[in-house]
Every structure is written in C-alpha cells, then in structure tokens.
A and B are shown apart, each in its own frame.
Chain A
C-alpha cells in the first residue's frame, strides 16, 4: 500500500495553463470502503480563442501574458481562501507539461507559491494524463470503468493510442508519425479557406456533404503498426483544390464546387484512420473499455463511427462516453488526474516542481 498523504475525504485545487486556456477547478473526493464519490465543486475556464481567432492562429505572447492576469482572478473567484484565512482545499494539482514553457510556468509558479504558503501537498500532472482522466469525470463512465482501458487521445497537438493498465500506469501503443488529427483538420480547413479553428467548422460543413465524393489517402491504414500518419492529406487536398481550378480563398463561398462534399471526404479520411487503428489496437491488447478524449473526440462523426465499429467488431468491449464539457484543455481533468496520483500517495516537493515542456506519457 502506498503511504497515505490525505484522509479519505479531500478537496483538490487544480490549475491548468499549458496552452490556450487558463483554468481553475475544485474537486471533492470522498471514499468509504471500496465506494467513492467525486464532485466538481467549482470549475472556471477563461478561453483565449476569441483573441486568437482574429489572427487565425494561437498567439503565445498574448497567451502567456493573459494567463497571469486571468489566473489571479480565477483563483480569487474560486474562493480558495475562506474568510477565516483558512484554505478551502487540501491538495494542489497543476499541469507541469507538455506545453509552452512560458505558459506552463505561470501555473506551476502559482501552485508552488500556494503550496509553500499553505503547507498542502502538491502534485505535478501530465497534461495528457489529464485528458485521459477527463473521461472519468463522467459519472456513468466511473461506474463502468474497468482496466485495461484503451484510450484514443486526439487533439490539435496529439494523436495517441494509450493502453491504461491501472490509474497512473500507461503505455503509448500507437501515435502519429507526423501531423496530429486536429492539426490535419485545421490545416486542410485552411487550404479550403475556412476560418480558424478549422475542425469544428469543417464538421459543420461536412454534415450535408457526401463523404465518398472525393477519394483521399488513408496512409498506413492497412499496415500492421498502430501508428498513424496525416501529413499526406495536406498535399492531397491542395492538389484537389488546384485541380478544381480554384484559389482556396474563393473556395469558402462554395460557388464552384461543393464545399460540404470536400469537408465530408476529408473528415471521413481522418476518422477512418482513427477508428481503424483503435479497433486494431483493441484486438491486439484486448481492453475491457475504450475511451476517446481530447478536442477532436468532440467530433460527432468520429463518435458515431467509433461506436458503430466497436459494437460490430468488439461486442465485449465497453465504449465509454466522450467527456462532454471536458474536451478541450480544462482544470477539472487536471484535478481528476491529480486525484489519481494523490490516492496513490504520489506527491511532489514544491521546491523541486518545475515545468516540463517536453514531457511525454
């Protein structure tokens, strides 16, 4: 048994500042015997998407500066210090990586300061572990949760297949060799002249399109490896747009060719690869459950296709719910992952905790 650092009842304060979002959460945990209860008491995220949308990209310089200002007011609103000057939390979880060093440091330094002043335990959390934990925030998933679990983690910066043998025990069994799935959505959307962020825009357009209208590459689909590749889509879509005789800036008006058909075809290519590789990984590693997490897991076409294929090909495997409300970066998932670590007695020394921009799972 790991050493106990906390009672069976505790509150985790969490901070996330790894990239675009500044977020703070307070999560309650109570344990009795083998039963436990989890309650999200407070959760607030200040998103920077509106600023970034103006520039058509993420603006890290703005991001780092905004994180500092936002974090202080988010902590204030979370009422982490009660009127009697007592803290309302029992432990602190903070994202330590991967991410932008300057952005990560804002959260890590704030968390360390709080740990120093209050003497509460602190735990540095891997942002990717946070995404895995986001599925566990769904109460129904916690009831059906059983290891081993296969996770498809898909976002703007990640496309990974992770085998979870237990809490805090992970193995990456497949990953993209080049572009992430979310990056493939954003960049092909850019080639079509769609506004940033391209992914959601593309799936909106795709709703009325024919996914078989254009034949796009699905590299590495048939080979045995669990790795993926999405970089070829950019070239293929560029060639298509050129062949259709259009500048991409005109494409968005959809006057000369069917934009929905193109979007549906691109979406089909990306989701086919994600689903096929997940099924292949599941046949190899025989998990009890499958989860999908990260920004791209919000894509409804991906959700439907995955549910359909798991049901047809892996009838004994449980498909858990995507983490609705926790898709993008948020502090609630960091609290959940922090809680996993704290339950196992894993903590960090505030003096030593540092941002780790290159952290892997």
Chain B
C-alpha cells in the first residue's frame, strides 16, 4: 500500500495504491495532464515504488521493452510504438547517484530533450532540484509515501 500525492499547476490530488499491480490508478490520473516536454518528478524513499510506477506508466504508453532500474545507467530512453498525446519518447532518468544538478551535464539532458516530443520521468528529483525548478511550468510532481 502506498499513498501518492500528485501536484500540478498548484493543484494537488491524493491517490491510494493498494498493491504493486495498481499503479494504473495513478497513470489514469496523469495521462490527461502529460504532454510533450512534461517533466514528471517522482519522489520517494529507497523502495517506495518509483520504478514500479514508471514501469506501469511505460506499459500504458505502449512500451513493450523491459524497464529496469536505471540507477546504474543513469538514463534510458524508450521509443513509443504509437504517439500518445503527441509524445514520441519516454526518457527515464535516475538521479540517485548524482550529487547535484551540475553533474547532469554528463547526460546532455537538454540535448536529449531538444526534439520537444519526449516525456521525462525523474527518480530522485530532489538531487537535481534546481534544474527541475527552473522548468517548473512543465513539471508534475509525484510524491510516494
């Protein structure tokens, strides 16, 4: 069981996710809010369910490939078989191993997102809060407790 708070444009919604198979409940609430360029900041402790949620999101976007934890790789991207809300690609970043936003340089994230057609999901967004906050108008925050 996990409690999730979704904050977007000053509005906050709470969702309960009874089991690891129920993240579709959150995905359902999110889909109408996401568009190309959206940044989903997914916050929660070690083992909160961040990656599990992103796996459910990827599945809902039609992605068939495995979505493993990107902690070691730092970043993985997935092409959508069909565009959803104008989104062509899902970029999954895990900032767990980063010290701060300066270290994001190595990912060339702005270049990675320059096509303007990607959805970015970030685990451990608090590690790169300045980078996220500078793009606040595009950010949807998810907090798992």
Contact = CB atoms under 8 A, between A and B. Distances in A.
A148 interface: no
A245 interface: no
Nearest to B112: A101
Interface string A215-251: 0000000000000000110110110000000000000
Contacts of A177: 66, 68
Residue with the greatest number of chain B CB neighbours at <10 A, chosen from A55, A57, A64, A180: A57
A57 B97 contact: yes
Contacts of B107: 60, 100-102
A155 to B, nearest CB: 8
Contacts of B69: 178-180, 183, 231
Nearest to A155: B72
Interface string A89-110: 0000000001111110000000
B106 A64 contact: yes
Contacts of A176: 68
B72 A231 contact: no
B114 interface: no
Contact of B73 (A55, A98, A238): A98
Given A98-B73, A178-B69, A60 B106 contact: yes
Contact of B99 (A19, A55, A175, A357): A55
Contact of A102 (B96, B99, B108): B108
Contacts of B75: 357
A180 B74 CA distance: 13
Given A57-B98, A58-B97, A61-B103, A234 B47 contact: yes
A156 interface: yes
B74 A57 contact: no
Contacts of A238: 45-47
A231 B47 contact: yes
A76 interface: no
A100 B106 contact: yes
Contacts of A57: 96-99
Q: Bin the interface of chain A by size.
A: 35 or more
Nearest to A191: B46
A176 B67 CA distance: 10
Nearest to A239: B47
Contacts of A231: 47, 51-52, 69
A103 B46 CA distance: 27
Contact of A100 (B51, B74, B77): B74
Interface in A45-72: 55, 57-64
Contacts of A155: 72
A138 B55 CA distance: 39
B76 interface: yes
B7 interface: no
A187 B94 CA distance: 14
A158 B72 CA distance: 9
B33 interface: no
B71 interface: yes
B137 to A, nearest CB: 27
Given A61-B102, A61-B103, A190 B46 contact: yes
Contact of A156 (B45, B46, B72): B72
Contacts of B103: 59-62
B66 A60 contact: no
Given A60-B74, A158-B72, A179-B51, 15 more contacts: A57-B98, A63-B106, A100-B106, A101-B108, A102-B106, A103-B106, A175-B68, A178-B51, A178-B52, A178-B69, A179-B69, A187-B47, A231-B47, A231-B51, A231-B69
14 contacts: A19-B72, A57-B97, A60-B74, A100-B73, A102-B108, A175-B66, A177-B68, A179-B51, A183-B71, A183-B72, A187-B46, A187-B47, A231-B52, A234-B46
Interface of A: 19, 55, 57-64, 98-103, 155-158, 175-180, 182-183, 187, 190-191, 231-232, 234-235, 237-238, 357-358
9 smallest CB-CB distances across A and B, nearest first, come from A157-B72, A234-B47, A60-B106, A235-B47, A57-B97, A61-B103, A179-B69, A102-B106, A156-B72
